[in-house]
Amino acid sequence: MVESLRLFCQHISFLIMIYGGRLGIRLGNSLPCFTCPYVSGCAGHCYLMVLQRSSVGFQTAFDIFFSGAVFNILWPFAVFLLFFIPLSKLWCSWICPFCLVQDWISLVRKKFYIREMILTRKTRNNIKPVKYILLVLLITIPLAIANFNLHSDWALPFCQICPGKPILPLFQGNWSYFHINYTNGITMAFSFLSMVITGGMLVGMFFRERFFCMFCPMLALMHLLKAISPVRFEKKIHTCTGCGNCERSCPVDIPDVHLEKVKKNVLTQDCMGCMSCVEACPADHTLTFKWFGFRLFSSSRSYLSRKWSQK
C-alpha cells in the first residue's frame, strides 16, 4: 500500500538525515526539507538556513550582491533546484524528517482516540499567507542586516524561531536548545518566542495533522517553483464523482482537489504529495500523480476496495 511505502521511505530518510552524517553521508546544505543543521551529525542541512546566511544567502551587501560574488549565492540555490526539481513536493511527505515527527505525534493522538481539531475553511484561508510572509521575512531581515545596519543578532531569523531547532536535536539526545538566551534583549526575545512557538506547534501537531506544514516557508518556496517540476498531480474532471473522499482523507483538508472543475493540474500550495487522496478516490484513473509524464500512482476502485477489505 502507498501509505505503508510512504512511511517506510520516511523512516529510512529520517534515519539517514538525522544520523547519516555519523556514517559519512554528506548531502550538502541545500536540501528542500527540514533536516536541521543544529542536529550534530546530520546528513544534510535545510536550504532555508543557507538562504538567510551571509555570503551564500541574503545577508549580503548590495554591492557584493550585484558583483561576481553572486555566484556564491546562486550556487547553493542551483544545488537546491537539483534536489527539488526531480521530486518537488514529494520531499515533504516522503522525505522530510520533521513531517515524520508530526505524523508520530498525530499517531499518539489517534491511539488515544482524541478528536482532531477542526479548522474552518476561513481559518485555513487566513493561515495560507503566513508561510509566504515568513518566506519574505527570512529574506528581507538578512538583507537589512547586511545593508541597513540592523543588529546582527537578528541573523538567521527563521532558524531562531523554527520548532525544528529544539525538537530535532532531541533525537540525538540534545535538549540544550530548549533555553532562554539572556545575552541581550534581542536574543532573549527570539529565544522566548522560539519556546512559545515550539510549545504551540507541539500542541498543534498533537491536535491537528501536519499542523506545522501550514506555516512552513519551505512549502511556500516549493510552490513558487512548482512550474519547473516534473511532478504533476492531475485530475480527470469528467470522471470525478464528486464524492469528497479526497478532501476527507487529506491530512491537511485541501478542498481544491474535490472542488476543482476546470484545471487539470491540482497540485495546490498546501499539497505535500502524500497521495492519501489518490488512495481514497473510488473512480478509476481520476486522480493521478505523474513524474516526467510517467504515471506514479493512480486512483482505482479495485485498489480502494482491496484497502478497505484489508481493514
Partner 1 sequence: MVFCLMPAMVFAIPQDKNFLYFKFLEMKKEKNGQVSQAIELVCTDPAVGAVKVFYRENSDPAVFFAPVKDGIVTLIVDKPSRISLFAFSTNPAGFPEKKLVAHTNLVLFGKSSVPAPRIMADDIDVNRFAGLPGIELLSSENYYWHQTGQVLKFCIKPVLEPDSSDIDPGNIRIFVLENHKIRRLTMDGTLDFSYDPAHDERLRKTGVTAIRQDILYTTMEEKNQKYFLTYSLLLHRSRKGFNDIFSGVSVLGTSMILFIGLILKKRRTPW
Which residues are at the interface with partner 1 (CB under 8 A)? 55, 61, 63-64, 67-69, 71-72, 115, 117-120, 123, 151-153, 155, 175-176, 178-184, 187, 191-192, 195-196, 198-200, 202-204, 207
* Shortest separation between residue 187's beta carbon and partner 1, angstroms: 8
In the complex, least distance from residue 27 CB atom to partner 1, rounded to whole angstroms: 20
The least distance separating partner 1 from the CB of residue 55, rounded to whole angstroms, comes to: 6
CB nearer to partner 1: pick between 118 and 227? 118
Radius of gyration (Cα) for the chain, nearest Å?
A: 20
Task: Record the cell numbers describing residue 117, joined without a space.
Answer: 481539531
Instruction: Between 183 and 302, name the residue whose CB sits nearer to partner 1.
Output: 183
CA dist 288 and 234 (Å) reads 5
The 3-state DSSP class for residue 235 equals strand
Residue number, 153 or 279, with CB nearest to partner 1: 153
Buried b (16+ CB within 10 A) or exposed e, 65-90: eeeeeeeebeebbebbbebbeebbbb
- Comparison of 84 and 190: residue with beta carbon closer to partner 1: 190
Residue 295, beta-bridge partner list: 290
- Give the Cα separation of 114 and 296 in Å (integer): 34
Nearest to partner 1 of 252, 283 (CB atom) = 252
Distance (Å, whole) CA 45 – CA 53: 13
Question: In whole angstroms, what is the distance from residue 104 CA to residue 251 CA?
Answer: 13
Nearest in space to 102 (alpha carbons), one of 207, 249, 8: 207
In the complex, least distance from residue 7 CB atom to partner 1, rounded to whole angstroms: 26
Q: Tell me whether residue 178 or residue 297 sits nearer to partner 1 (CB atom).
A: 178
Backbone angles phi, psi at 274, to 5 degrees: -80, -20
Compute the least distance from the CB of residue 251 to partner 1, in Å: 16
Instruction: Report in angstroms how near the CB of residue 243 gets to partner 1 at its nearest.
Output: 22
- CB 15 to partner 1: min, Å: 26
Q: Which long-range contacts (CB under 8 A, 24 or more apart) does 209-213 make?
A: 209/102, 209/103, 209/106, 209/116, 209/251, 209/252, 210/99, 210/102, 210/103, 210/106, 210/251, 210/252, 210/272, 211/102, 212/98, 212/102, 212/163, 213/92, 213/99, 213/102, 213/252, 213/270, 213/272
- Residue 275 beta carbon to partner 1: minimum distance, rounded to whole angstroms: 26
How far is CA 77 from each of CA 49, 62, 227, 284, 306, rounded to the nearest angstrom?
Answer: 12, 18, 16, 39, 43
Length of the chain measured in residues: 311
Quick one: 69 or 296, whose CB is closer to partner 1?
69
164 or 204, CB closer to partner 1? 204
